[in-house]
Chain A
Amino acid sequence: MNRQFLQIESLAKRFPQPGAGEDVTVFDQVSFRMEQGEFICIIGHSGCGKSTILNVLAGLDAASSGSVIMDGREVAGPSLDRGVIFQNHSLLPWLSAFGNVAMAVRARWPKWPRARVREHSQRYLEMVGLKGAENKKPSQLSGGMCQRVGIARAFAIEPKLLLMDEPFGALDALTRGLIQEALLDIWSRTHQTVFMITHDVDEAILLSDRILLMTNGPDARIAESVRVDIDRPRDRAVLHQHPAYYPIRNHLVDFLVNRSRELQGADAPASAPEEAASPRDVNPAPRWRETGPGGSRAVASPA
């Protein structure tokens, strides 16, 4: 594993305030690292600048200060190495599901012959369970199916880093569950590095290896990095029976309800002196492996 795959160093975003001289700081001192193949979720209240961080990582927005280094190179501008799944699927409505995926594949590998583009796009559409709906336009598909196409499009270009901005926010709870499963499934096959924004605590626990917690904006920080120590593959149906589940969940909810406000503007305490820039590592369920008899077996998939 490449520990230095993605380094975010002291990122900050400030907006000039109309009239007043003082700039408004949305977030400051945002630093964290990502390993290759890691799935990280970031949670925080609205207005803490999560989307801005994601847009900076995507290269669609520029930070006021700080740097993003991926694979040893500084991120400047958008790139095919970083795929984005937007909040509202952002499919092109005049293209079919297949057309949307194929457009991205053609952009990624311009020299591929037609047949190869078709085969590749088709494979990813099948991975998200859209076999048979390839030729439908987005307006003929449900919101959940559109988001599946968006996922297929993002995974199909095989980016080094996949960025998701609340991809399931607009979906109803049942659809969301199904798409989370589709996402877990495609992720387990590709081991894509993913950075995802969510508002949903359960979604974060189900999907991620680590969860970054942000304090409230303005002047937001990343306060903690919570480790989700639950074996994969995870099964949504029995995840809540896992001994680590409630300790993690309670920790997250407590943070969002109370501490995200109390810590607002405070400098994040560092976990170790040599990693002064990184947020504190937290493991809310440190000893479940010893206490729970066969605890991990309970959630491991029957296969």
Chain B
Amino acid sequence: MLHNQTLRATLLSLVLLVLALGAWELSISAPLTASGELSEYEQLMGASASRAGVPPPSVILAHAMDELSRPFYDAGPNDKGIGLQLGYSVARVMAGYLLAAMLAIPLGFVIGMSPLLNRALDPYIQILKPISPLAWMPLALFVIKDSSLSAIFVIFICSIWPMLINTAFGVASVKRDWLNVARTLEMSRLRTAFTVILPAAAPTILTGMRIAIGISWLVIVAAEMLVGGTGIGYYVWNEWNNLDLASVVFAIIMIGLVGMVLDAVLAQASRLVRYQD
């Protein structure tokens, strides 16, 4: 039954894909072709030039195959392989994200264990949390004076909040009974933190990490459009300036795929620490 349903769902997915792509292909491959001779006026207005438009799926597919066959070529600042560009982006996300984790998880731990700190820091967290990470960009550029580091900082600032809040929440809501077990066993605070609180809060912490990686991947594209130079965000913007929409659509799909992989990695990690109470 279950197997049957999986099969049917897969089939339905494929049918929907074919229908959508087919409709897209058909709507574009019936272009308005100027028939006959062009008038002088039309020639002046550039009607003889190939029309820019959203390319059909077949063109994008061909373009994708070409790009994917040489993902890491580097032919100057404005012509790099897609793999290289994605690599820059992933590296920035990782740098900012790991820095944020290194700060947010220990700090969240302390906040979660201390009701006093929790109350004292809560107003700041509540104010800082809703700020769009890109709003920090001008300040980051001015202070850091390096566009690439500024992008990393923006990732850092956007991924810190979900991890901080989830860690504090997870630590604060560890069951009293489990803490009492640790107390009656005369465990030190440090030992309690590592043997009881950390495993108990790990699923909540990882949920925060999963939310954070998703937000980071959303933000890096926008950040790189602003700072330029390298990365998938810059690539999209650059191809838009070149009016190469096949590349833009291809890049959009690649962004989605990489985001999916990042999410899947963290989903897998949270499966490792999950427990059934």
Contact = CB atoms under 8 A, between A and B. Distances in A.
Contact of B186 (A103, A107, A139): A107
B186 A137 contact: no
Given A86-B177, A103-B195, A93 B183 contact: no
A60 B183 contact: yes
A51 interface: no
Contacts of A139: 275-277
B29 interface: no
Q: Which of A78, A92, A157 has the most chain B CB within a 10 Å cutoff?
A: A92
Interface residues of B, number: 19
B196 interface: yes
Contacts of B275: 93-94, 137, 139
Nearest to B195: A103
Nearest to B183: A78
B84 to A, nearest CB: 41
B177 A78 contact: no
Nearest to B273: A94
B184 interface: yes
Nearest to A108: B185
A90 B276 contact: no
B11 interface: no
A85 to B, nearest CB: 10
A42 interface: no
A88 interface: yes
Contacts of A79: 184, 186
B48 interface: no
Given A93-B275, A139-B276, A60 B180 contact: yes
A103 to B, nearest CB: 7
A83 interface: yes
B199 A90 contact: no
Interface string A66-78: 0000000000001
Contacts of B177: 86, 88, 90
Contact of B185 (A86, A94, A107, A137): A107
A77 to B, nearest CB: 8
Q: Is the interface of B mostly helix, strand, loop or mixed?
A: helix
Interface in B259-277: 273, 275-277
Contacts of B195: 103
A107 B195 CA distance: 11
A148 to B, nearest CB: 16
B186 A84 contact: no
Contacts of A157: 185
Interface in A47-62: 58-60
A140 to B, nearest CB: 8
A80 interface: yes
Q: Which of B186, B187, B273 has the most chain A CB within a 10 Å cutoff?
A: B186
Nearest to A88: B177
B186 A78 contact: yes
A40 interface: no
Interface string B54-71: 000000000000000000
Given A139-B275, A139-B277, A90 B183 contact: no
Interface string A114-154: 00000000000000000000000101000000000000000
Interface of A: 58-60, 78-80, 82-84, 86, 88, 90, 92-94, 103-104, 107-108, 137, 139, 157
Can you list the 9 inter-chain pairs with the closest CB atoms, starting with the nearest?
A139-B276, A94-B275, A107-B185, A90-B177, A78-B183, A93-B275, A78-B184, A94-B199, A93-B277
24 contacts: A58-B184, A59-B184, A60-B184, A78-B180, A78-B184, A78-B186, A79-B186, A80-B186, A82-B184, A84-B184, A86-B180, A88-B177, A90-B175, A90-B178, A90-B180, A90-B181, A92-B178, A92-B199, A93-B276, A94-B199, A94-B273, A103-B185, A103-B195, A107-B191
Given A80-B184, A103-B195, A157-B185, 19 more contacts: A59-B184, A60-B180, A79-B186, A80-B185, A82-B184, A83-B184, A84-B181, A86-B177, A88-B177, A90-B180, A92-B199, A93-B275, A93-B276, A93-B277, A104-B185, A107-B185, A107-B186, A108-B185, A139-B275
